[in-house]
Structures are given as structure tokens and as C-alpha cells.
A and B are shown apart, each in its own frame.
Chain A
């Protein structure tokens, strides 16, 4: 990365994306609480730097796969906000026409191949996408986001071995927030940790402070360059913290209050904001970014609330071509 103004512009880009992710999820939480959004909602508040820092290094034609906590990944990859909000609201204008909801947001137009309701479900898909892209002669790469809970599932073992075996262009991004639902990940994970596990499978790993957006950006920049250069897969292990509960209705009251308070001190938006102020960015400029993000999401919420529901007739669409059933059948 070049220094000076370029660096500041990059940090501002990161901050802008992180503000939009935060504002989107805070708005979605409020809408959920107000009964405007049905179903479960997993927010990534506190983890925004991982999505923003990684995706800043991806091209539009690069692909990502994501997990159940995927709003940030989608926004950072450039997914349309209105389509995302309306998907959460179950409206016809959602990216998935209201058939997927929060856990299945996809926006293929920007290479977002889908969130996933199954832990580790995106890993085989990511390695296959990379293999397919190579077959088609593309130099695009795939970033695969998953949590620390996913590393105890078979597809993690299979997928990393596979990607290393075929030297596939995949950046595995493990968001290590220390918890899996209501369980501390370390209490159910043996061995010397995520990075060592990846290395044992032939995938070089880099650990980073995932709440330091600049550090994530720098690590991702290096790894993406290596991957695009043909070096094969890499794993980015980003340590972070899930500030909220597992779902929108989970208070996560089992956690030590002092631990949560300390985590708030370390949260990525506040840290990047302080850094930008140090770099001489005026407070007003940051306030404008924050205000813009809030306004954008408020408007998306209002428009989603007024947006039409899907016509029940579309419930029958897009199952399959051969053997599709119809309402009259």
C-alpha cells in the first residue's frame, strides 16, 4: 500500500463501508423489533472490519460465499442495499424475491454467491466456484467467509485439503468471534487453533486483529495478490468479537458483563474513527459518512415497509424446469 493520502483514502473507504454495514444492521434490528422483519436475524455488529477489509481487495468479478451472519459480507461486496433490505422484509423487490430472507441473501450481479443457513455450507461451494472459474479461463478468485464454529465440520477439512490439492484461488476467511451460538468455540475445539489447522491441510494461514480494519486490509491485500498470482489458497484468521447475541432475540446474557464492556472498547468502528482523526481527517467529515449511512438505511427501511409483498403465485416459480408443479396441479 502506498502511504500518505492514498492510505487515508483507503481508510476512509473502509470506514464508509463499515458505517454502512453497521447502519444496515442497526436499522434491521430496529425493524425486526418493530415487527417489520419476520424470521431470524443474525447481525455481525462488531465484526464489520473483516468484511470491509477483505472485500476492499476483491474485484467485482471475484466471488464470495458467506454464512448465516452475512449482511456485512454482502454489503462489502457491493450488493444492492434496497434489494437486501426488501429481502429481509420478505418483499417482492428483494434480491431473492422474498424467497430467501436474511439467511439466504445472494446477489449474483456482484459475485455474491449466497449466504448459507448451514454452518460450513459455503466452503465446498467456494472451492468448486474457484475450480469452475479456472476451467472457464477466468483469473477471478473466491473469498469464503465462515465462523470459528465451522472449522469443526467435515466440509472445512475437505474443502481446505481440496483447495490446496488443486492450488485453487480461494481466500478462506475465518471470522473468529470466539463463540458459536451459545458456546465458547474453544470449549469445543481441540488442537492448536484455526491457523495451525489450516496449515496442517496445506493452506498457509495469517492471523490478524480482525477489529483493526487497516490490518485486515493489509493482510487481505497480500493474500489476494498471492492467490491471484497462482500460489493457491490462503486462510485469513481474523480475531473479532460478536457484540450482540446469536440472533436478534438473544441477549447473550451468559457472557460476563466486563468482557462485553471491554469488547466495546475494542470495537472496530470506534478504533478506525480514532485512527482517522489522528490522521487529520476532520470530525465533521466522519460525521457526514456516518450520517449518510444512517440516512441511506433509514430510507431503505421506509421504502421496504411500503414495498409490495410478493404475489403468492410466485411461490410456485423457480423450483425446477422439468417436473415443475403448478398451482392447479
Chain B
């Protein structure tokens, strides 16, 4: 299997699907030039300007036009450039896309993918660094993908493009250069199935998206200190693999959730709440969450580093759990 970067894996996945289905097209700013990150490099010459549509800086209409095009039977990939700009299209996403199938009694399924590269990346400061995927897991009607490896990105993107649901695809932009193996023929990865990144017996660490490599590093450091951490990469936040999390947590009896998003009100809270409901209040010896403090992402490297979860903070959080 060839080794490619994560962003190239995503490019190959979209390429494979667009070659197979002429109803798939891409709309977003600068996509004809290959996209901000090269996710669509070479697409214009292969698919033409009707299927690779560079748009005005009109986020509401990028999102809403994607919906309209889905309602007549095409399968758009809506590229939002950087997640934070999708904020300009919340009506179209939350009021329209997420609800239209339900409100109209099932007359239409908006089969579309919204790609939103998210997260802290190259000191881009508060308006280009957010991770708000937990918001969207809260909204009925949406599927939320948060992959962290090249293979998962490719497989989940194929699944997203073939899905009849509206799928939010959070590309982990800080991991775009990350290399990994991707199959020649990319198979879809089902939603809601976690990947066991590392097996362990002392505690369970649930995580996703750009922070996963740091958690894996932390697990290695913990092992050197005699702590065996199991790492589950959820890969999708809605649906999420509750069964895998509960099974692992019931075994290790210690559950730590690590996400790059702000801790307060983050999806980690939902996971711990469900664990308490499902396993019973006495089942776990210790639970914890590690995310960012409830502060905007700052610009200067020492400030950004101070707030961002990293391997050392994961180790500290895990050791605190082990002490209880």
C-alpha cells in the first residue's frame, strides 16, 4: 500500500468517488485552483468547471446552494475552506440542511458533505483555529466525522460522499502532512465505529481528530512509567461508538476523554455522562476530561502552547486518574 499524506489521502478519496459518480461536484472558494490545501489538486482539468466550481466568498450561498443542488438529485461536496468561515452559514447548515428531511416528512434526503478543515494550525489565532465539532453533534440530522489518520480520512470521506445523510467532515488541518498507508482502492469506513489506536488495561483514553497523535505519544510515555493506556479514536462523533467506549471503560474502570475543543460543554462531557448512565455511578474509579480552557485560541506560540492539550498534559491527566 502506498504511503501518502493525510491531505493527499483525502484528495484520492474524493477523486475515486468523483470518477465513479457524475452527480458528485465540488463548490467552494478556490477549489478550481486545487483548494487551500491542495485537496482538489488536478480536479479542474479532469472534471471541468461545472463540477469543480470556484465560488464567490459567499458562505451562506456556498452552503445553501449545495443544499438546493442536493434537493434536485446531485451530490455536492461543500468546501468551507476553513471551519471558522462556516459560521457565516449557520442558517443554511442548522436551520435548513439539518432539518429539511424531517420538516418535509422525508420527501428529500440532502445527500451532501460539508468539508470544514478545523483546529489549531500554524498559529492562526482565534478565528482560524476553532474546534466546535461538539456543537454539531448536538444538532439532530447531522453526521459528524472527525478522523485523524490518512486511512481513516480516506475511508470516512468515501463513506460520507456515498451517504444519503448530510455529513460534516472535519478535516484535521494540523495533521495534513501526516503520512500513512492508504489502499489503492479506498473502501468506505462505516460511521460510528471507533478505532483502537492502542490496547491497554489500566485506563481508557477516548479521543479524536488532531489531538490523537499527541494522545498516542502520551500512551507511549505512560507505558514507560508502567501505566497501560487503551486509546480509542472515535473517528465519528455522531454517531459515536458508545459500545466500544463502554466495553473498554468497564474493563479499565478509568476513563479519560481528550479533545482539542474547550473542555466546558464539550463532547467529552456527553461521553462521561453516558458512561455514568450506562455503567452506573459506582462502576468507574476515576473519570476526567482534558481539553482547552474556556479561552479563545491565542496567537503567540507560547500562549497557544500554554492552552493546547499536548502529550505532557495527557500524561499528567492520566497519572492523576491513576492516583485515584
- By a beta-carbon cutoff of 8 Å, the part of chain A in contact with chain B is 63, 65, 94-100, 104, 106-108, 113-114, 116-118, 121, 123-136, 138, 142, 154-155, 158-159, 161-162, 165-166, 317-323
Q: CB distance B56 to A158 under 8 Å?
A: yes
Query: In the complex, which of the residues A113, A123, A124, A135 contacts B51, with contact meaning CB atoms closer than 8 Å?
Result: A135
Distance between Cα atoms of A68 and B85 in the complex (Å)? 27
Q: Which of B27, B56, B101 contacts A318 (CB under 8 A)?
A: B101
- A104-B103 contact given A124-B61, A125-B96, A127-B61, CB 8 Å threshold: yes
Q: How many whole Å from A203's CB to the nearest CB in chain B?
A: 14
A160, closest chain B residue (CB): B61
Which among B91, B104, B106 has the greatest number of chain A C-beta atoms within 10 A?
B104
Chain B nearest CB: distance from A234 CB in Å?
18
| Min distance, Cβ A151 to any Cβ of chain B, angstroms | 14
Cβ of B239 under 8 Å from chain A: yes
Task: Tell yes or no: B60 within 8 A of A by CB.
Answer: yes
Cross-chain contact A136 with B104 (CB below 8 angstroms): no
A125 touches B71 (CB 8 A): yes
Contact A321 B68 (CB under 8 A): no
Q: Are B100 and A114 in contact (CB under 8 A)?
A: yes
Instruction: Report whether B68 and A125 are in contact in the complex, using a CB–CB cutoff of 8 Å.
Output: yes
Mask: chain B, 13-26; 1 = CB below 8 Å from A; 0 = not: 00000000001010
- Provide the bound-state CA to CA distance between A127 and B58, in Å: 13
Residues of A within 8 Å of B67, CB to CB, are 124-125, 128
Closest chain B residue to A113 by CB distance?
Answer: B71
Alpha-carbon separation in the docked complex, A96 to B106 (Å): 7
Judge whether B108 and A108 touch: CB under 8 Å.
Answer: yes
Contacts of A133 in B (CB 8 A): 72
**Residue contact A162 to B58, C-beta cutoff 8 Å:** yes
Contact between B105 and A132, CB atoms less than 8 A apart: no
Segment at the A interface, from B138-146, B205-213, B255-263: B138-146
| Chain B residues within 8 Å of A117, by CB | 95
Q: In the complex the two chains form, is B61's CB within 8 Å of A95's CB?
A: no
Check B65 against A124 for contact (C-beta < 8 Å): yes
A323 touches B239 (CB 8 A): yes
A194 to B: closest C-beta gap in Å: 19
Task: Tell me whether B232 is interfacial, beta carbon within 8 Å.
Answer: no
* A113 to B64 Cα, complex, angstroms: 13
Closest A residue to B167 using CB positions = A322
Chain B's nearest CB lies how many Å from the CB of A303?
18
Residue among B68, B69, B74, B142 with max Cβ neighbours from chain A (10 Å): B68
**Contact (Cβ within 8 A) B103 A162:** no
Tell whether B63 is near chain A: CB-to-CB under 8 Å: yes
Does B40 sit at the interface, judged by CB under 8 A? no
- CB of A129 within 8 A of CB of B72, answer yes
Contact A135-B74, Cβ < 8 Å, known A320-B142, A323-B238: yes
Residues of B within 8 A of A317 (CB): 106
Question: Is A128 a contact partner of B105 (Cβ separation < 8 A)?
Answer: no
Say whether A135 contacts B61, CB under 8 Å: no
Q: B72 to A132, Cβ gap below 8 A?
A: yes
Residue contact A154 to B143, C-beta cutoff 8 Å: no
> Can you list 12 A-B contacts with CB-CB less than 8 angstroms, sorted by A residue number?
A99-B103, A121-B96, A123-B64, A128-B64, A128-B68, A130-B68, A132-B68, A161-B58, A162-B65, A320-B101, A321-B165, A322-B191
8 closest Cβ pairs, A-B complex = A124-B64, A128-B68, A128-B65, A323-B239, A132-B69, A96-B105, A97-B105, A158-B58
Residues in B with CB closer than 8 Å to A116 are 96
Question: Within 8 Å of chain A (Cβ to Cβ): is B276?
Answer: no
- Specify the chain B residue showing the minimal Cβ separation from A314: B105
> Which of B69, B76, B95, B192 has the most C-beta atoms of chain A within 10 angstroms of its own C-beta?
B69
B159's nearest neighbour on chain A, judged by CB, is: A322
Q: Smallest CB-CB separation from A157: which chain B residue?
A: B58
Instruction: Write out the residue numbers on chain B whose beta carbons fall within 8 Å of the beta carbon of A323.
Output: 143, 165, 191-192, 238-239
One digit per residue, 1 when the CB lies within 8 angstroms of any chain A CB and 0 when it does not, for chain B 92-110 equals 1001100011111111110
Q: Quick check: is B291 within 8 A (CB to CB) of the other chain?
A: no
User: B163: shortest Cβ distance to chain A, in Å?
Assistant: 6
Looking at the assembled complex, report how far the CB atom of A165 sits from the nearest CB atom of chain B, in whole angstroms.
7
